[in-house]
Amino acid sequence: MHFTNKYINAQVVHIPTATVAASVSTQEKGVRLATIEAKANARDVAAAAKIGKLLAKCIPAISLKREQRYHEKVKAVIDSVREAGIELDVTSDIPSAESVITWV
């Protein structure tokens, strides 16, 4: 996950092939238009939760690699992925799972 002053970006990387399995951002047209219509912010905790929900639609299971503190926006993304019913495995080293989401 990457957070800027304007946007939130999240990627899921397939470790064995080193390719991006899924990517979601508040810069995407659909997400951006939804935040404009709702007069919401594209960089707050609520936007991070929306990113997590969209990410959950793309991936059946995720293994997490912790590289940053688990709080606020990071927590919102991961909690919304969990609420969507996605199986999460938190590891401290490189996992052997099919996909991994990292945040730096």
Q: 69-89 burial by CB neighbour count: b if 16+ within 10 A, else e?
A: eeeebbebbbebbeeeebeee
Of all residues in the chain, the percent with pLDDT exceeding 70 is 82
Domain of residue 39: give its range.
2-102
CATH number at residue 20: 3.30.420.100
Q: Tell me what pLDDT residue 67 has.
A: 67
**What are the angstrom distances between the C-alpha of 86 and each of 8, 50, 62, 83?**
20, 15, 7, 7
pLDDT by residue (tens digit) across 51-74?
A: 889 988 888 877 776 666 777 888
Number of domains in the chain: 1
Residue 81 pLDDT level (bands cut at 50, 70, 90) = confident
